[in-house]
Amino acid sequence: MLVSTASTVAGVSLALPTATCVQAAETTEDRTSSIRVTGLTPTIFHDRVYMKIDTNHGIHGWGEIKGVVPSVAAALATSMFELLENQNPTRIEHLWQSLYRAERNQRGGAFMLHCIAGIDMALWDITGKLWGVPVHRLLGGPTRDSIRVYPSAKAVKLGSGPKPHSGNPSDIEPLVEQVRSAREQVGKDGAVMFDAHSAIPPAMLIQFANAIEPYDILFLEEPAVPGNIDVFRRIRESVNVPLAAGERDRTIWGILPYLTEGVLDIVQPDCGYTGGISQIRKIATIAEAYSVPLAPHCTQSYLGMTASFHVAASVPHLLIHESYDDDLFAKFIHPKWTKQDGQVTIPDGPGLGIELDEAMMSKLAKEARGKYHWRGPHYLPDGSVSDY
C-alpha cells in the first residue's frame, strides 16, 4: 500500500510520496546516473570483431563489428574508447553523435560506422540489462508477434556474380531459369528474391529484370552500384519488378536519396553496417513516411543478428529479414529466440537477450587467428575487374 502526504500549491492538492518512496526513486536515479563505461575489449574472430563494453555497475554489453578488416576495426574501436570512458552508457544517442561527429574526415566511412554499430549494440545491451527489459521494449515495444525470415522452405534468394555490360541469350537465360525453377519450388505463396550484387551492369540488368517479370519476385536486390542515383532512376524507369538496396548505403543520409527520388520499393539497411540499432531505427522511420518497408540485410552472427531482430520487432513496416544459421557461432552465442517455418520469435531477456560463452569464444578465436584474408576482386571473362 502506498501512503502519501498532501501539500497545497496555488489551491491544488499535491500528493507527495513518503520517505520510503523517495528513497526508492533516488536509488533508481542514482544507479542510472552513476553508471559509467569503464572498459572496452575487442576480440578478433576471423572476419569480425566481438566487442565487450564494461561498466562500474558490473553490467556489460556486447556488440559485433563485421564487413571491414578486423585488425583495423579492433584498433579503431579501441581508439574510440577515448570518447566513451567514464561516460553514461545509457546516453546512447548522445554517444552515437559524439562518435560520428568527432572526426569529420572519417565521418560516414565504412570503418567508422561499422565500429560505431558494434559500440551502439553494446550500449543498448547495457541499457536494457540496467532496466531489466529487452531492447525492443526501449524502442517502443513489439509491433508484431514474430519476424518473417529467409532463407526458408517458402522464401529463397538467388544470386549472381559478375556479368557482361550487355547480355546475349546465353548469358541471360541461365539466370532466368534460376528464377523460374525457384518459383516452381516455393509455389505461388512463396517468396523468390534475386541479389544482383551490383555485379550485373545496367543494360544487362534491365534485360534480365524484364525477362523475369512473369515470375513475380519479391525483390531484385542491389540492382546497381551505390553512389549514382541517376543510374537507379534509369533502372527504375525501365523495369517493373520491385527493387531493393541499402546494405552499403550507410545512415539516414545514405538512404534518403533513394526515398526522395522514388527509385526503391524496399530498403535493406544492415544493423552492423549503418551505425547500429540507433541508426537503423531512424531509417525505418523515414522509410515509413514514404511507405517503403524494410527487408534488413544481415550476414552477421547471432549477436548482430539479434540486435537487428530487436529493431525488426519494433518497426511497423517490415517485409522480411535475412537470417542464416551457422554451427560455429552457435557454439558460443546463445540467443533467446527460436526459428521455425520461416518465422523468428521476438527476442526475450534483458538487453539483447543473448548469452555468450567468453571462454569458448576466446578458444575459437585463437584457432581462427591468421585465417582472415582480403577478399579478392571479381573479374569479367576478359580479365577486367568487375563491380561487386
Provide the b/e sequence for 18-53 (b: ≥16 CB within 10 Å).
eeeeeeeeeeeeeeeeebebbebebbbbbebbbbbb
**Phi (first) and psi of residue 347, to 5 degrees:** -55, 140
pLDDT, residue 225, reads: 94
pLDDT, residue 377, reads: 86
Alpha-helix runs per DSSP H in the chain: 19-34, 70-80, 92-102, 110-131, 135-138, 169-186, 202-211, 229-238, 251-261, 277-289, 302-314, 327-330, 358-368
Angstrom distance (rounded) from CA 367 to CA 10: 71
Q: Please state the separation of Cα 274 from the chain's center in Å.
A: 7
pLDDT, residue 21, reads: 38
pLDDT, residue 31, reads: 58
pLDDT, residue 33, reads: 81
pLDDT, residue 369, reads: 87
User: Binning pLDDT at 50, 70 and 90, where does residue 104 land?
Assistant: confident
Helix (H, G, I), strand (E, B) or coil at 230: helix
Residues 127-180: tens digit of each pLDDT: 999 999 999 999 999 999 999 999 999 999 999 889 989 999 999 999 999 999
User: Binning pLDDT at 50, 70 and 90, where does residue 32 land?
Assistant: low
Angstrom distance (rounded) from CA 383 to CA 364: 38
Residues 6+ apart with CB under 8 A from 71: 44, 372
pLDDT, residue 357, reads: 97
pLDDT, residue 108, reads: 85
Asked if 70 contacts 49 with a C-beta cutoff of 8 angstroms, the reply is yes
Residues of the chain with CATH 3.30.390.10: 37-133
Of 344, 339, 294, the closest CA to residue 316 belongs to 294
Secondary-structure class of domain 138-352 per CATH: alpha beta
Q: Which three cell numbers stand for residue 329?
A: 557461432
CB atoms within 10 A of CB 341: 9
**pLDDT greater than 50 at residue 14:** no
Q: Percent helix, strand, coil in the chain (nearest 5)?
A: 40, 20, 40
What's this model's pTM, rounded to 2 decimal places? 0.90
Of 179, 166, 245, 262, the closest CA to residue 206 belongs to 166
Per-residue pLDDT, averaged over 360-384, amounts to 88
Measured in residues, the chain has a length of 388
Q: Which CATH number fits domain 37-133: 3.30.390.10, 3.40.50.1370, 3.40.640.10, 3.90.1150.10?
A: 3.30.390.10
Q: Which three cell numbers stand for residue 341?
A: 517455418
DSSP label of 151: S
**pLDDT greater than 50 at residue 122:** yes
Residues 53-93: tens digit of each pLDDT: 999 999 999 999 999 999 999 999 999 999 999 999 999 99
For the chain, how long is the longest CA-to-CA vector?
Answer: 87
Residues 236-286: tens digit of each pLDDT: 999 999 999 999 998 999 999 999 999 999 999 999 999 999 999 999 999
Residues 310-357: tens digit of each pLDDT: 999 999 999 999 999 999 999 999 999 999 999 999 999 999 999 999
Asked if 317 contacts 296 with a C-beta cutoff of 8 angstroms, the reply is no
Q: Which three cell numbers stand for residue 328?
A: 560455429
Exposure of 132 by Cβ count < 10 A (0-12 exposed, 13-18 middle, 19+ buried)?
exposed
Residues of the chain with CATH 3.20.20.120: 138-352
pLDDT, residue 374, reads: 81
Residue with cell 543510374: 231
User: Binning pLDDT at 50, 70 and 90, where does residue 364 land?
Assistant: very high
**pLDDT greater than 80 at residue 8:** no
Of 26, 5, 25, the closest CA to residue 16 belongs to 5
pLDDT, residue 26, reads: 47
Residues 297-313: tens digit of each pLDDT: 999 999 999 999 999 99
